[in-house]
Structure 1
Amino acid sequence: MMLVKVWNKEIKGNLYAVGDIHGCYNLLMTRLNEIGFDFDNDLLVAVGDLVDRGLQNHECVDLLQEKWFTSVRGNHEDLCIGGLNNESYKRCHLANGGEWFYQANKHRQLHIVNQFLELPVALEIEHKGRKFGFVHGHIEQNDWSEFKESFKEKPTAFRDPSELAMWGRERLDSDNKQYAHVTGVDAVIMGHTVTQKPCKRDNCYYIDTGAVHWGTLTILNLENI
């Protein structure tokens, strides 16, 4: 299990990021066709929460087998992982759209969890001379290198870097003055907190625009930010 991953494959075409999909597979494919996504050369990075609440969760899990698609781990992937053997996680998951997971047979559940365990919590990609970071919910540090290094520290109950990255939301609050431009990276792309349209704080972009709620799925061409 690699918590921080640095992408090492060539991207021949464009680099895109997509907000929380939440089981809306058909919506994703419609949007990709609308923007002329090149399935042979482009790469689409999801910011986590591929599943739950929507109706096409298994199709969204299977996206992880596509060469044009990758993702970081979101809190809903974390709920699947924890819910397999932890009753409190399972109760939380069921209360947040996870019924589909427990309706699957045990073999399928294990297959899904194993795929989610392979997802990094943070992903770094260099493309066309720029460096992009991808995290589901929150980056605590104002320095990308320090953020990556934090995953090497022994987690505590209150300062687990993975928990902060997948579940936190604090940076989006503009009144919280401890957060500023994240150095060492051109842009950080996140989801998790639903906003009516994509929004930006410093060089952090939030792109969960409520696909499962309003049918508005944001896909960013990262050359345009």
Structure 2
Amino acid sequence: MPATPDKLPQQQGSDEIRIRHLPGNTAGRDLVVGDLHGCRALLDQALDALEFNPATDRLLSVGDLVDRGPDSPACLGLLLEPWFHAVTGNHEAMLVARFLSDDRDLSARDMHQANGGSWFHGPGHVASDPDLATLLQRAAALPHLLVVGTGRERYHLVHAELPAGRNTPVVTDAEIDAGLPGVALDPLIWTRQLMSGWAPGVPRSQRGLSTTYCGHTPEPKVRRRRSHVCLDTGACFGVVNPGDGDYALSIVERTGRDCERVHRFAT
């Protein structure tokens, strides 16, 4: 697994956490997808197999649409679709930091380049592609946390994890509804405390926190810890290096209260 920095310097401090709410989907299904990293063709195959209906279904992403895989622009293009919703990942954060500085911030440029950003060629790329500029502006406005539905049907999306530790409780729905006062932004985008490795005794769920889908920490299998469900099963590694490990694209299909089914798609 390629190394990923812990954080960007400009993301430290008291950055405001953007929380967005979506109503429950009463007309169709919600599909929640793990880190795409440019694997648009694999996603399209998965949506066809699941008979995705854009008139009634929605696709929700835990972030990291871009970098490392073969088609980052096509994955960014999902941001134009009315049926698509996403939270920002650390790779969107790196890309946006580079975009907003017009490559004048050399550390932001080099960090993005070193983490799969070679597809993006800086200011000249944006100048030659007005559609890309629009997509980057949309990426810059993505929420850090998505709250979907209410009551027992409620669930969340975050890229990395809510502030947590293996031996300490994570935040609750009530704290999320209060705007996460006093909570730093970095854990939501960058932290890997909860999903890295395995320690016996970490509970699968936590009282007071609705199911929270996340990504960021790739392993071949979906993991459930403290009400978090990590869907990053390394799709891009399987696409770039076919046959290298049991990597796949994971999609959760939700059709109502407590009704969840996990699908895996590989090249």
TM range (shorter): 0.7 to 0.9
Partner of 1:105: 126
Unaligned runs of 5+ in 2: 1-15, 164-169, 240-247, 262-267
Equivalenced residue count is: 219
**Residue number among 73, 92, 106 corresponding to 1:87 in the alignment:** 106
Could you tell me how far apart the structure 2 residues matched to 1:108 and 1:32 are? 24
* 1:169 correspondence with 2:192: yes
**Residue number among 221, 226, 230 corresponding to 1:197 in the alignment:** 221
Could you tell me how far apart the structure 2 residues matched to 1:117 and 1:176 are? 38
Amino acid paired to 2:237: H
Partner of 1:219: 251
The CA deviation at 1:42 is 0.6
Amino acid paired to 1:101: F
The CA deviation at 1:27 is 0.5
- The 1:9/1:199 distance shift into structure 2, 3 A limit, reads closer
> Does 77-86 or 4-13 show the bigger shift?
4-13
Q: Secondary structure at the match of 2:161?
A: coil
Partner of 1:157: none
- The 1:88/1:108 distance shift into structure 2, 3 A limit, reads farther
Partner of 2:141: 118
Counting aligned pairs with the same residue, the percent is 27
Amino acid paired to 2:31: Y
Could you tell me how far apart the structure 2 residues matched to 1:10 and 1:197 are? 27
- The 1:115/1:9 distance shift into structure 2, 3 A limit, reads farther
**Residue number among 184, 188, 191 corresponding to 2:212 in the alignment:** 188
- Contact (CA 8 Å) 1:144, 1:182: kept in 2 or not? no
Could you tell me how far apart the structure 2 residues matched to 1:69 and 1:112 are? 13
Amino acid paired to 2:213: I
- The 1:76/1:111 distance shift into structure 2, 3 A limit, reads same
Amino acid paired to 2:159: H
Of structures 1 and 2, the larger Rg is shown by 2
Could you tell me how far apart the structure 2 residues matched to 1:45 and 1:161 are? 24
Partner of 1:142: 171
- The 1:83/1:14 distance shift into structure 2, 3 A limit, reads same
The CA deviation at 1:110 is 3.7
Amino acid paired to 1:69: F
Partner of 2:85: 70
Could you tell me how far apart the structure 1 residues matched to 2:140 and 2:17 are? 8
TM-score, structure 1 normalization? 0.86
Q: Secondary structure at the match of 1:29?
A: helix
Q: Secondary structure at the match of 1:64?
A: helix
- The 1:176/1:149 distance shift into structure 2, 3 A limit, reads farther
- The 1:110/1:129 distance shift into structure 2, 3 A limit, reads same
> Does 69-78 or 195-204 show the bigger shift?
195-204
Q: Deviations over 1:121-165 (max 9, x none)?
A: 000001794110100001113313324646554xxxxxx722210
The CA deviation at 1:8 is 3.8
Could you tell me how far apart the structure 2 residues matched to 1:63 and 1:148 are? 28
Q: Secondary structure at the match of 1:165?
A: helix
Could you tell me how far apart the structure 2 residues matched to 1:75 and 1:179 are? 26
